[in-house]
Chain A
Amino acid sequence: MSDLLYSEVEEDLRASVRDLLTDRAGFTSVLARTESAEPYDLKLWRTLAADLGLAGLAVPEELGGQGASYREVAVVLEELGRSVAPVPFLGSAVLATAALLAAGDTELLPRLAGGELIGALAVPLTTAPDAGFPGGVSANTEGALSGSVRTVADASVADVLVVPAVGPDGPGLYAVEKAGATVTEVVSLDLTRRLADVSFDNASSRLLTSGPGVESALRQALLVGAGLLASEQVGVAQWCLDETVAYLKQRYQFGRPVGSFQALKHRLADLYLEIVSARATARYAADTLATGDSDVPVAVAVAQSTCSAVALHAAEESVQLHGGIGMTWEHPAHLYLKRAKSSELALGTPGRHRAALAGLVNLPPA
């Protein structure tokens, strides 16, 4: 059976990431940044990606990475979820990096892994792993791309885009430099994860891979993204629970701490129980991804459908149980609600993952 615990190395990693984020991504600064000209903290990103080497955790050392595994990436995502830090980790260090790994690229990977470049995978963030190869972008015989993709995560800060496009010989994955694409940032429901529409008009590109394996390469990248997003969702849920418990201990109404009322305690106990389950599914997904276990598709579907729902429930409870304070812009709860609701749609909704599961475990529809 997979190891569902955190190793000592992983706990050390967690501690150092948490320390850094506590210092540099405190709530007030995160909130202030959401309405500034620089919604992403690229200085923080450089510390995470380049100085700490976290952008290349799962990339082999010979390709400029740390040679660790997706288990460690999951731990980092959990902490990024706890702080909703505005950094392009999911888009660059997870999605684009996984796509480049699956495509067998050796040129861009070292630069992404070292934090020198930021990447993004040019698919709508809602794309589920089993969605099939997208047809919105086409490549001509010279490899010039045309077409558009909406709601791409982290594209607005990306230096390079990994683009699934259909060429004369079928589907392929292409790399396009920022200058070759028109990137239009859109107003995002999630204030701390930016989205952009991307279009290409005869953009020059480099073919990364094509042929029979390309569809499974894209699917693999999306499975990695969906499976690891579950850990980010666990982080979101845990923050919401911790913060809400702390608040209910100090908020007095009717002459007692609100947290002493059974009606509220039971809701928090249920939430705790949900998070216990969610963490186990997220750990399992990360471990199967790390070891290349054949159970990856089931593990990811179970983790995504569980963790999406738990993060959202935790965030909704957090707003409700904070009462009026929870409705205000100045309290952080809304950032987590926005992250949780957006993440529910990201990389496949819970329903979509359950439908995929139905096929995987032979429970056919009516």
Chain B
Amino acid sequence: MSTLTADDLRARVGELLAAHPPASTDRLEFLRARFDAGLAWVHYPAGLGGLDAPRELQNVVEAELAKAGAPDNNPRRIGIGLGMAAPTILRFGTDEQKQRYLRPLWTGEEVWCQLFSEPGAGSDLAALGTRAVRDGDEWVVNGQKVWTSVAHIARFAILVTRTDPDVPKHQGMTYFICDMTDPGVEVRPLRQLTGEAEFNEVFLSGVRIPDANRLGAVGEGWKVAQTTLMNERVAIGGNAIPREGGLIGMVSKTWRDRPELRTPELHDRLLKLWVQAEAARLAGTRLRQQLAVGAPGPEGSAMKLAFANLQQALTGLEIELSGEDGLRYDDWTLRRPEKVDMLGRGPGYRYLRAKGNSIEGGTSEVLRNIISERVLGLPSEPRVDKDVAWKDLPR
């Protein structure tokens, strides 16, 4: 790690801004220059958008750039690339792969999606059956993936496949980078209970992937996928929010503005949720303080569970607090959003969308298993599938 200080970084940001004034520079050009200056993600290696600096110094860069009105790289739209693909490529990619993919990924020129879940492999991801068969310098891939956010705008995907069905399921997987424009890749919108199609199904029919696009060794796909999934959970609960930030603020405001909707029972529930939201906010703050001093606690795995519980209870309350309007919905039109817009839609949308919070990125049930086994050290459930070849598993 380098010995860069906050002041060094401020000076580097100053140089970047002087050479590329945000007001008169094209957005993409600015972002590329920022990447090349090592100010994209300062904890990444030099030459790959970083400076080998401590991760927490990124905040210094962000604050300086925000002050100068510099464009951002729209991290919510490209969140899967930033949060999951990038750390995996950094850890397992070849030098060529890192040089080719990381820069356009970070600037948002190339959007990434994640081809992990399948209709028969959700919580039990290691059961996946999308086959990749070697053919010379290429692999031929056949199978179906599901719940794939932003697949319809993605240029690349991180993809886990089955390459050896004769060994137990956690072995015999291989991890690839898949070009979404290749022949045989078909993306179909998957309409959700909210009316919109935030996710897709992706059908892979005879897709040919060069061996050069493999990440990690053949058969080591599970290990690579673990890196991706660990980074997914780290990304959750990242930013400091003020008191009454998010949905609790919206519901509290309705309570204050619309006295005619108040009942004693709703008051009781609102106060309980207010306390719960404040407690979760403080727990998130404590977690960030632990990370900042380099002592991450096991609390992180609990925060996603807390968030899902809270969002679901709050959105349910919000509908009831809406009175007659709670019976109405804002828009059932089939749309294909690039990101989830919880605050921009109506209470009905929020209620329905929040149901996904306890399913996406690991169900609450799986998270409870992780907490009880890895944090509390309780014994795992007996596994009947551990030593059985994948092809012999009941399905």
Task: Identify the A interface with B (CB < 8 A).
Answer: 1, 3-5, 241, 245, 248-249, 256-257, 259-262, 265-266, 268-270, 272-273, 276-281, 283-284, 301-302, 305-306, 351, 354-355, 357-358, 361-366
A277: contacting residue among B262, B290, B306, B380, CB under 8 A: B306
Given A5-B290, A257-B379, A362-B256, verify A280-B285 contact (CB < 8 Å). yes
Shortest Cβ distance from B297 into A: residue? A276
Does A280 lie within 8 Å of B275, measured CB to CB?
no
The residues in B between 267 and 316 inclusive whose CB is less than 8 angstroms from any CB of A are 267-268, 270-272, 274-276, 278-280, 282-283, 285-286, 289-290, 293, 299, 302-303, 305-306
Does B264 lie within 8 Å of A279, measured CB to CB?
no
Does B289 lie within 8 Å of A4, measured CB to CB?
yes
Segment from B151-159, B160-168, B189-197, B366-374 that makes contact with A? B366-374
Given A357-B275, A365-B264, verify A1-B240 contact (CB < 8 Å). yes
A284 CA to B371 CA in the complex, in Å? 24
Does A260 lie within 8 Å of B286, measured CB to CB?
no
A366: contacting residue among B240, B244, B262, CB under 8 A: B262
Given A1-B240, A245-B378, A269-B367, verify A280-B305 contact (CB < 8 Å). no
Given A1-B285, A266-B372, A277-B283, verify A357-B271 contact (CB < 8 Å). yes
Please name 9 further chain A to chain B contacts, defined as beta carbons within 8 Å, in addition to the given A259-B372, A269-B367, A355-B271, sorted by A numbering.
A4-B285, A276-B303, A276-B306, A354-B275, A361-B274, A363-B252, A363-B255, A363-B271, A365-B267
A277 CA to B303 CA in the complex, in Å? 9
Does B262 lie within 8 Å of A281, measured CB to CB?
no
Shortest Cβ distance from A281 into B: residue? B279
Is residue B376 within 8 Å, beta carbon to beta carbon, of the partner chain?
yes
Shortest Cβ distance from B244 into A: residue? A361
Q: What distance in Å separates the Cβ of A321 from its nearest Cβ neighbour in chain B?
A: 11
Does B282 lie within 8 Å of A281, measured CB to CB?
yes
Does A256 lie within 8 Å of B382, measured CB to CB?
yes
Does A363 lie within 8 Å of B369, measured CB to CB?
no
Does A269 lie within 8 Å of B368, measured CB to CB?
yes
Does A260 lie within 8 Å of B305, measured CB to CB?
no
Is residue B320 within 8 Å, beta carbon to beta carbon, of the partner chain?
no
Is residue B381 within 8 Å, beta carbon to beta carbon, of the partner chain?
yes
A69 CA to B375 CA in the complex, in Å? 32
A129 CA to B8 CA in the complex, in Å? 50
Q: Which 5 A-B pairs have the closest CB atoms?
A: A265-B372, A269-B368, A366-B262, A280-B282, A277-B279
A270 CA to B283 CA in the complex, in Å? 15
Shortest Cβ distance from A270 into B: residue? B368
A338 CA to B207 CA in the complex, in Å? 65
A21 CA to B252 CA in the complex, in Å? 45
Mark contacts of B373-393 with chain A using CB atoms, 8 A cut-off: 1 yes-contact digit, 0 otherwise: 101111111100000000000
Given A245-B378, A273-B302, verify A281-B285 contact (CB < 8 Å). no
Q: What distance in Å separates the Cβ of A351 from its nearest Cβ neighbour in chain B?
A: 8
Given A265-B373, A357-B275, A358-B271, verify A260-B379 contact (CB < 8 Å). yes
Is residue B263 within 8 Å, beta carbon to beta carbon, of the partner chain?
yes
Q: What distance in Å separates the Cβ of A267 from its nearest Cβ neighbour in chain B?
A: 9
Does A265 lie within 8 Å of B279, measured CB to CB?
no
Shortest Cβ distance from A361 into B: residue? B274
- Return chain A residues, CB-CB under 8 Å to B293: 5
Q: What distance in Å separates the Cβ of A277 from its nearest Cβ neighbour in chain B?
A: 4
Q: What distance in Å separates the Cβ of A198 from its nearest Cβ neighbour in chain B?
A: 33
A272 CA to B380 CA in the complex, in Å? 17
- Return chain A residues, CB-CB under 8 Å to B290: 5
A116 CA to B302 CA in the complex, in Å? 45
- Return chain A residues, CB-CB under 8 Å to B377: 245, 249
Q: What distance in Å separates the Cβ of A186 from its nearest Cβ neighbour in chain B?
A: 32
Is residue B360 within 8 Å, beta carbon to beta carbon, of the partner chain?
no
Does A280 lie within 8 Å of B286, measured CB to CB?
yes
The residues in B between 246 and 266 inclusive whose CB is less than 8 angstroms from any CB of A are 252, 255-256, 259, 262-264, 266
- Return chain B residues, CB-CB under 8 Å to A259: 372, 378-379
Shortest Cβ distance from A242 into B: residue? B376
Is residue B72 within 8 Å, beta carbon to beta carbon, of the partner chain?
no
Does A305 lie within 8 Å of B275, measured CB to CB?
yes
Shortest Cβ distance from A354 into B: residue? B271
Is residue B365 within 8 Å, beta carbon to beta carbon, of the partner chain?
yes
Does B271 lie within 8 Å of A262, measured CB to CB?
no
Given A3-B289, A366-B262, verify A276-B299 contact (CB < 8 Å). yes
- Return chain A residues, CB-CB under 8 Å to B280: 277
- Return chain A residues, CB-CB under 8 Å to B376: 241, 245, 265, 268-269, 272
A259 CA to B305 CA in the complex, in Å? 20
Q: What distance in Å separates the Cβ of A137 from its nearest Cβ neighbour in chain B?
A: 33
Shortest Cβ distance from B299 into A: residue? A276
Can you report 19 A-B residue pairs in the complex whose CB atoms are below 8 A from each other? A249-B378, A256-B379, A259-B379, A260-B382, A265-B378, A266-B369, A268-B378, A269-B302, A273-B306, A276-B303, A302-B282, A354-B271, A354-B275, A357-B274, A361-B244, A362-B256, A363-B267, A364-B256, A365-B267
